[in-house]
Amino acid sequence: MRVRPGGGPQVRPPPTLATVAAAAGVSPATVSRVVNGVETVAQEHRIAVQEAITQLGYVPNRAARSLVTRRTGSVALLVREPVGFAVSDPYVGSVIVAASQCLAEHGCQLVVMMAREDDDTSAGEYARAGHIDGALLVSLHREDPLPQQLLSAGVPIVACGRPPMDLPGLAYVDVDNIGGGRLAVARLLETGRTRIATVAGPADMTGAQDRLRGFRAAVADAGLNPDLVATASFTQASGERAVEQLLAAHADIDGVFVASDVMAFGALRALRRMGRSVPSDVAVIGFDDIEAAQYADPPLTTVRQPAGEQARAMVEALMAQIRGEEPRGQVTLTTSLVVRESG
Amino acid sequence: MRVRPGGGPQVRPPPTLATVAAAAGVSPATVSRVVNGVETVAQEHRIAVQEAITQLGYVPNRAARSLVTRRTGSVALLVREPVGFAVSDPYVGSVIVAASQCLAEHGCQLVVMMAREDDDTSAGEYARAGHIDGALLVSLHREDPLPQQLLSAGVPIVACGRPPMDLPGLAYVDVDNIGGGRLAVARLLETGRTRIATVAGPADMTGAQDRLRGFRAAVADAGLNPDLVATASFTQASGERAVEQLLAAHADIDGVFVASDVMAFGALRALRRMGRSVPSDVAVIGFDDIEAAQYADPPLTTVRQPAGEQARAMVEALMAQIRGEEPRGQVTLTTSLVVRESG
DNA sequence: CAAGGGTCAGAAAGCGCTTTCTCCCGCGTG
DNA sequence: CACGCGGGAGAAAGCGCTTTCTGACCCTTG
């Protein structure tokens, strides 16, 4: 094919290393050295090359580079969730944004891949095809074979949150969910609540279970009943339903710890519908501190997890692994209480 | 470097085309033909190669392939917005998810890049470095030089929504925002509203302006005052403020068209705080039909734009361009009204 | 003045793949 | 029987880059 058939205006091919070398009057090797910041190049040549580069608008071809260096400069973010969840959950969204920013500082790109029911192997193959230097794993579920696959293929990975399966070598960055649950209960106790319930997340996600553990421990410590528990699935609708059930069974509940802000929005709605005022009748405390929490009605008191910090820690851990350093393994970040009006 | 210094378990390098060829007793060229589905290979060899591939777990190296084919199998999604917006705006999120799905069906990956204040050229360079077959542009602002850059570099692009700048060759997929604005007003009129206001989006975004145009036209057609307009920035907080201002200036407003669901949530909150009940005192109609709209209190009546369809159309248009076909140029999808309880 | 050492730049060998180009072989045809 | 033709497979030439190896040159030193 000499000319693109229906293609638009003819575009001349982008300049290559050789073009630059010719323009600067040096060898391709020298240009490569300048581009890669190798020190042993005479000042005079360095300048000539740099001028040629800017003048020609040269940009190194990544495919060619990665073919020889075995590094691609991109990192995958694998969301192991059947679609939509990732982007519909604001906390995950924040992690994605922050990770993307942080990777950019390392000169890396983020490739976002979501799980697909019909083709569960594609992510693994993609990684193994060498199109990626490493991967960030989000929303892992217990039976997912992917982490094991990547681990044994030697692909550097870091999980977001403590993974639900038992893989000793798997690095992760978690937040202190147990402590977060305790924090919420402590606040409810402080404000004089004595019938404290919780809306927990799914049973196969470690974060959700840890929050529940923290809740139970703190409530039991206070000598109260730790079994006012309803389970939901991190969506607003499920949170709404869970609170309805809780109040139907125990009309005297005066405080609820809801394991995510999005579910807490559902909880607020259910309470309003059932004629309870927040926080005077029932206090509500969420988890995440997503942006919308401050715009809820009333503004949501919540346990803050540091999305940005978590993303940053994950990226740093991953970059270290990619550089071949011994991974630091597991990191846990602290959570904190943000007091607003709901509880 | 013979051995990775601190690296984990030793991993043998992935099999190459040559490995497979040796195992199958054919030449590398034949393996390549089988992998790429070229017909002129004897059945016998084809089978031998396929067996060798599955047995060795061979995955083609994308960098090597793209070096020669000049195709990478990945497409960028460039969000031209200073961070966070993309993922915090559920509509954009839905488009991302749908585009990613649709691209996967074409065997392509999505690389998500957000604008960064400190390095505005990186996206353009990345694209020109040949790491990408084409790009989807989201949230374009008027002064953005990127589309022009990509266009003249010959990179196939498709914009999400009609672009705010004048670039004849730029393909895009828009939704009928004007019609959507009219739809909302028609509904408000139907339910007997006579003092109809709107919360509009930013002035430099075409979608926002088109919705406003539709609003104005329909209100004027009905012989009502088309100037009850407040401007906000597509965030919940700004929507809340805008409605406050509207009601402060015109206490008798009985219907509001809010140009996005997220802003409409803010509007609902402001109305509640100001003691107006929805929809009996003031009807509220949003735009987007994001998932949360049905969980609002009251459930939000809204103008639906087809996120999935839009993403799909964008991807198809882009793939056509990549294949070198004459681009179909501009597409506009219809919007529809989803009646719930708020208006 | 010769030998040794240190700097810096070019030549060239690939990285793993696709894609010509070439060749071989078996067939039908004049 | 010689010839041409075409299907199918291998040889080999790169794609654009990095990196080792080699070598030229200059400076220091005995």
pLDDT, one tens digit per residue, over A225-276 is 999 999 999 888 999 999 999 999 999 999 999 999 999 999 999 999 999 9
**Distances in Å between the alpha carbon of B75 and those of A1, A57, B72, B113, B136?**
23, 22, 8, 11, 7
Q: How far apart are CA A317 and CA A329, in angstroms?
A: 8
A125/B59 touch (CB, cutoff 8 Å), yes or no:
yes
A126 contact residues in B (CB cutoff 8 A): 109
Confidence of residue A5 (pLDDT cuts 50, 70, 90): very low
Q: What is the pLDDT of residue A247?
A: 96
pLDDT > 50? residue A8? no
**HSE (CB half, 13 Å, CA atoms) of B238?**
15
Q: How far apart are CA B327 and CA A7, in angstroms?
A: 9
Asked whether residue A17's C-beta has any atom of DNA/RNA strand D within 7 A, the reply is yes
The protein residue nearest C13 (Cα–C1') is: A68
A154/B11 touch (CB, cutoff 8 Å), yes or no:
yes
Asked whether residue A11's C-beta has any atom of DNA/RNA strand D within 7 A, the reply is no
Q: What is the pLDDT of residue A206?
A: 93
Q: Which of B6, B272, B324 sits opposite A4 (nearest CB)?
A: B324
Q: pTM value? A: 0.82
A298 preceded by a cis bond (ω within 30 of 0): yes
A5 preceded by a cis bond (ω within 30 of 0): no
Asked whether residue A72's C-beta has any atom of DNA/RNA strand C within 7 A, the reply is no
CB contacts under 8 A, A 58-97 vs B, are 59-64, 66-67, 72, 74, 83-84, 86-88, 90, 93-94, 96-97
Q: What is the pLDDT of residue B216?
A: 98
| A216: CB partners within 8 A, 6+ apart | A181, A226, A229
Stated as kind and residue range, the H or E segment containing A104 is: helix A90-105
Instruction: Establish if B216 touches chain A: CB-CB under 8 angstroms.
Output: no
Q: What is the pLDDT of residue A7?
A: 40
Q: How far apart are CA B237 and CA B248, in angstroms?
A: 17
First to last CA, chain A: 69
Pairing state of beta strands B336-338 and B301-304? antiparallel
| Residues B314 and B161 sit within 8 Å (Cβ to Cβ) | no
The amino acid sitting at B219 is V
Q: Which of A195, A223, A197, A193 is nearest to A212 (CA)?
A: A197
Q: How far apart are CA B251 and CA B268, in angstroms?
A: 16
Q: What are the beta bridge partners of residue A331?
A: A173
Q: What is the pLDDT of residue B154?
A: 85
pLDDT > 70? residue A19? yes
Angstroms from B259 CA to nearest CA on chain A? 18
Q: How far is the CA of B42 from the C1' of C29 (A)?
A: 26
Q: How far apart are CA A289 and CA A307, in angstroms?
A: 9
Q: Which of B184, B96, B199 is nearest to B139 (CA)?
A: B96
Q: What is the pLDDT of residue B120?
A: 61
- Per residue in A46-95, pLDDT tens? 999 999 999 998 999 989 999 999 988 889 988 887 655 545 677 887 88
Give every strand in the sheet of A157-160, ordered side by side. Answer: A330-333, A171-175, A157-160, A134-138, A74-82, A109-115, B109-115, B74-82, B134-138, B157-160, B171-175, B330-333
**Distances in Å between the alpha carbon of B295 and those of A215, A241, B20, B250, B292?**
27, 12, 55, 29, 5
Per-residue pLDDT of chain B (343 residues), as tens digits, is 333 333 444 567 789 999 999 999 999 999 999 999 988 899 999 999 999 999 998 999 989 999 999 988 889 988 887 655 545 677 887 888 888 888 888 888 888 777 665 556 677 777 777 778 999 998 888 888 889 988 888 889 999 999 999 888 899 999 999 999 999 999 999 999 999 999 999 998 899 999 999 999 999 999 999 999 999 998 889 999 999 999 999 999 999 999 999 999 999 999 999 999 999 999 999 999 988 888 788 899 999 999 999 999 999 999 999 888 876 778 999 999 999 999 8
Q: How far is the CA of A58 from the C1' of D25 (A)?
A: 31
The protein residue nearest C10 (Cα–C1') is: A27
Asked whether residue A29's C-beta has any atom of DNA/RNA strand D within 7 A, the reply is yes
Q: How far apart are CA B150 and CA A8, in angstroms?
A: 13
Q: What is the pLDDT of residue B127?
A: 77
Q: What is the pLDDT of residue A115?
A: 67
Instruction: Establish if B237 touches chain A: CB-CB under 8 angstroms.
Output: yes
**pLDDT top residue among A316 and B94:** A316
A76, closest residue in chain B (CA to CA): B111
Residues in chain A: 343
Which token pair is B264?
Answer: 């409409």
A279 preceded by a cis bond (ω within 30 of 0): yes
Q: How far is the CA of A285 from the C1' of D3 (A)?
A: 92
Task: Spell out the long-range contacts of A86-89 with Cβ–Cβ below 8 A and sequence spacing 24 or more.
Answer: A86/A112, A86/A114, A86/A138, A86/A139, A86/B97, A87/B87, A87/B90, A87/B93, A87/B94, A87/B96, A87/B97, A88/B90, A88/B93, A88/B94, A88/B291, A89/A234, A89/A262
**Distances in Å between the alpha carbon of B138 and those of B96, B162, B303?**
9, 10, 20
Confidence of residue A215 (pLDDT cuts 50, 70, 90): very high
Q: What is the pLDDT of residue A211?
A: 98
Asked whether residue B28's C-beta has any atom of DNA/RNA strand C within 7 A, the reply is yes
Q: What is the pLDDT of residue A121?
A: 67
- Per residue in A133-166, pLDDT tens? 999 998 888 888 889 988 888 889 999 999 999 8
Q: Output the CA torsion sign for A141, A145, A148, A151.
A: negative
A272, closest residue in chain B (CA to CA): B297
